[in-house]
Amino acid sequence: MSSRDLLRRHDHDFVDFARSLTPAEWTRPSLCSEWTAHDVLAHLVVGYSMPAPSLCWAMATRRMNFNRTNTSVAQRLARRRRTVELIDSFEVLIDDPRGIGRLFPPTLLLGDHVIHRLDIALALGKPPEMPDEIIDGVLDTEVGLPNPFVPAKRNSSGLTLRATDTGWTSTADGDGRGVVEGRAAHLASALAGRPHALEFLSGDGVPTLSSRVARRRHVK
């Protein structure tokens, strides 16, 4: 299955997950600093719908600060649209992405969508369930591709990583700085800079990973 097919498969599954949440759960904080679950959902809709020129203009009015722009446009949409409307919009856009959503490689977009789904699910204490090939694909991308927005490759450097549920491993870059193991979803979330997931991991490399995540606590 291609990366684009995996992205489409995940996104349709995410819609089912999103429709299972209660109105109260959508108001709860996510693992993204300053964002509720509803804000995260709005961010995903923005990613599939906002034209590139509009994003550039929004950044220009905020001194090219990506994090500030990202927060502003997501929360502005979140204030204007009800959760059910955002879910409906996202579902339509899965098969007809527009704007900046058409420009990103599907491997990176899949990682973004999976991590944000985990931002909602893990914060709510929901089981982080998704097909092995999807979460393993995200882990491969995290440790294999530099990403200016998600420092997962830097966070994983020198560590031996093992997913206890899917069997995924990464040792190619291991240089003796320790082993980190746990469920694949928790590994992916921690590598993406979410401190919450660290408590579910074990191994002598966890202190190293924790110190790296602590150096960059602002996540979106």
CATH number at residue 151: 3.30.1050
Q: What is the pLDDT of residues 167-179, one digit of tens each?
A: 999 875 656 679 9
Residue 24 lies in a domain: yes
Together in a domain, 77 and 160: no
What are the start-end ranges of the E strands in 86-136? none
Structural domains counted in the chain: 2
Residue 64 lies in a domain: yes
Placement of tokens 């929004």 in the chain: 58
Residue 199 lies in a domain: yes
Question: What does the DSSP 8-state code read for residue 168?
Answer: -
Together in a domain, 169 and 143: yes
Q: What is the CA radius of gyration of the chain?
A: 17
Together in a domain, 104 and 24: yes
Q: Which of 163, 162, 158 has its CA nearest to residue 176? A: 158
Together in a domain, 62 and 140: no
Placement of tokens 């469920």 in the chain: 183
Q: Which of 8, 99, 1 has its CA nearest to residue 45? A: 99
Together in a domain, 196 and 93: no
The whole-number pLDDT of residue 110 equals 94
| Rounded distance between C-alpha atoms, residue 30 and residue 124, angstroms | 8
Q: What is the pLDDT of residues 30-77, one digit of tens each?
A: 998 889 999 999 999 998 987 666 666 665 666 665 666 667 778 888
Say if residue 150's pLDDT is above 60.
Answer: yes
Together in a domain, 109 and 144: no
Which residues have a Cβ under 8 Å from the Cβ of 175 and sit 6 or more positions away?
158
Q: How far is CA 195 from CA 31, 60, 104, 106, in A?
A: 9, 31, 26, 26
Q: Which domain holds residue 202?
A: 132-214
Residue 176 near residue 201, CB atoms below 8 Å = no
Question: Which has the minimum average pLDDT: 12-26, 69-83, 174-188, 200-214?
Answer: 69-83
What value does the mean pLDDT take over residues 129-136?
94
Together in a domain, 105 and 150: no
Residue that terminates a domain, selected from 123, 157, 173: 123
Q: Which of 24, 14, 19 has its CA nearest to residue 124? A: 24
| Rounded distance between C-alpha atoms, residue 143 and residue 182, angstroms | 16
Together in a domain, 160 and 70: no
Together in a domain, 94 and 138: no
Residue 72 lies in a domain: yes
Confidence band of 88 (pLDDT split at 50, 70, 90): very high
Residue that terminates a domain, selected from 123, 140, 157: 123
Residue 219 lies in a domain: no
Question: Which has the minimum average pLDDT: 63-72, 91-100, 128-137?
Answer: 63-72
Q: What is the pLDDT of residues 99-109, one digit of tens each?
A: 777 778 889 89
Together in a domain, 73 and 146: no
Residue 220 lies in a domain: no
